[in-house]
Amino acid sequence: MDVVKNAKAFQKKMKLHIPLSIIYTKILPSPLGITMSTVSATSSLPDFQQSVKLKYVKLGYHYLMSHLLTLLLIPLFSLIILHASQMTPQDIQYLCLHLRYNHLTLIAFSIFIVFAFTLYIMTRPRSVYLIDYSCYRPPSNLRANFHQFMEHSTLTGDFNESSLDFQRKILERSGLGEETCVPEAMHTIPPRPSMAAARKESEDVMFGSLDNLFRTTNVNPKDIGILVVNCSLFNPTPSLSAMIVNKYKLRGNIKTFNLGGMGCSTGVIALDLAKDMLQVHRNTYAVVVSTENLTQNWYFGNNKSMLIPNCLFRVGGAAVLLSNKGCDRRTAKYKLLHVVRTHKGADDKAFKCVYQEEDEVGKTGVSLSKDLMAIAGLALKTNITTLGPLVLPISEQVLFFITLVAKKLFNAKMKPYIPDFKLAFEHFCIHAGGRAVIDELEKNLELMPEHVEPSRMTLHRFGNTSSSSIWYELGYVEAKGRMKKGDRVWQIAFGSGFKCNSAVWVALTDVKSSPNSPWADSIHRYPVQIAV
């Protein structure tokens, strides 16, 4: 135990990102039955030869299983070609005569082919393309650095010393940077939350995103046939979707939807709704607007479970333009492949883990349960169980199935095989809900630091922008020039209820960053080192 403690202290002191398995002795089991060499506490390097061998064994297995059908068909086609090459002109003439005098067979086969092709065309879902999207970049005068945040919290007079100290610690450990923004009403002393101020915040975010989107894509707002807006905590009358219709004078037969109270994963829910509507209405555009409103939902009490959102949530929003027009494939950035939604609301603990309520003195806030991370883990497990067969290569599915059978039949204590989702996706956009959420997914999905970099940097630069955070993360990947044609993207978000939702995209081209990207003024400074 002393060796382990010393190793951890040395790792922390030197700020190394080396697994402790390299510093102290540990045996790493392999799903293929191969055991890597152990490394003693005094060894300077691991046995790279063994680890490299294991790596290539797994890569070879993955390649074999991925191309198994092709490898099996090659001998069959070789036999057919060999047999055809040995046919004489008399054999070919006999085959033609045979078909000529079997009209019924030929007609029946032709009818079957035409019927099957027609059925396929009529039943296959229409492709949904992402033309472009725009994320709102708040003005610099709304920035709230840690010192200013704590100073304003102190001057309001609503928080006791214990609550102020708690907020200070949360900020220091949150992973947020000094440039995140809070609403204009929170910059005054005392704060002035009101319906008018909340409307202004929503208008600034939604109209700012949409103005940039329409300007970038050159799409006429009157061509929009479907509009979906989501905002959990602010639902005025007329609705937010009606505000957009009024602002841009959208056409009278537009299909509008306004989603509220569904948490940070509502962006994927709104996307799923727009996708379903695009299956019904031909040759049209759909716009999805994802945002949150903080002005009327700031907590001014001393319940610590309700103070956390004050420290994490910040101003932000995104507008996304979708199309089902075949001609838009040439100009679109991405094609939507899958949307998988998981709802755990039937469980009472999951239902109450993110809950808006009044505290003991009647002040309204959103409380976060101590069971939140455990519930999020269960929701994630259910979600990826459904998503896995849709996206994972056959090699990973076979390994998972074999491990599951072995666990059931031979050893109930055997650890389940965690599929390697890095074989299914090149990019991961994990909802920037907080540092703990990103850490847990990085650990449980065995991701590399570069896979969670977009999420960490989005949290640092913009904070938790609720349902729009996955679009800021996608913007980060594009701004870094990492999105190549054929790359697959996994957007995953968690929200109250409790829900875990996933969207999967494939890049149709080498995607470049959009004009007026929210990262345009800061991408050269990222990634940054985040203090532990």
| Inter-residue contact 201 to 295 (CB < 8 Å) | yes
The C-alpha atoms of residue 105 and residue 202 are separated, in whole angstroms, by 66
The residue ranges of DSSP E strands in 169-301, in sequence order, are 224-230, 255-259, 285-291
The secondary structure of the chain in percent helix, strand, coil, rounded to multiples of 5, reads: 50, 15, 35
Q: What's the half-sphere exposure (Cβ side, CA atoms, 13 Å) at 317? A: 29
For the four alpha carbons of 300, 303, 304 and 308, in that order, the dihedral sign comes to negative
For the chain, count helices (H), then strands (E). Answer: 18, 11
| Inter-residue contact 245 to 227 (CB < 8 Å) | yes
- Cα of first residue to Cα of last residue in the chain, in angstroms, is 24
Of the candidates 499, 504, 472, 438, which has an alpha carbon nearest to the alpha carbon of residue 261?
499
The C-alpha atoms of residue 72 and residue 401 are separated, in whole angstroms, by 22
Give the Cα-Cα-Cα angle 333, 336, 340 (nearest 5 degrees).
145
Phi-psi region of 351 (alpha: psi -120 to 50; beta: other; left: phi over 0): alpha
Give the Cα-Cα-Cα angle 487, 493, 498 (nearest 5 degrees).
150
The C-alpha atoms of residue 307 and residue 159 are separated, in whole angstroms, by 10
The C-alpha atoms of residue 504 and residue 387 are separated, in whole angstroms, by 9
Q: What is the DSSP letter of 417?
A: P
Give every CB contact of residue 73 below 8 A, 6+ residues apart in sequence.
none
| Inter-residue contact 469 to 432 (CB < 8 Å) | yes
Give every CB contact of residue 517 below 8 A, 6+ residues apart in sequence.
135, 475, 478, 479, 523
**How many other β-carbons are positioned within 10 Å of the β-carbon of residue 20?**
13
| Inter-residue contact 471 to 290 (CB < 8 Å) | yes
Show which residues are catalytic.
264, 343, 427, 431, 460, 464
The C-alpha atoms of residue 205 and residue 184 are separated, in whole angstroms, by 12
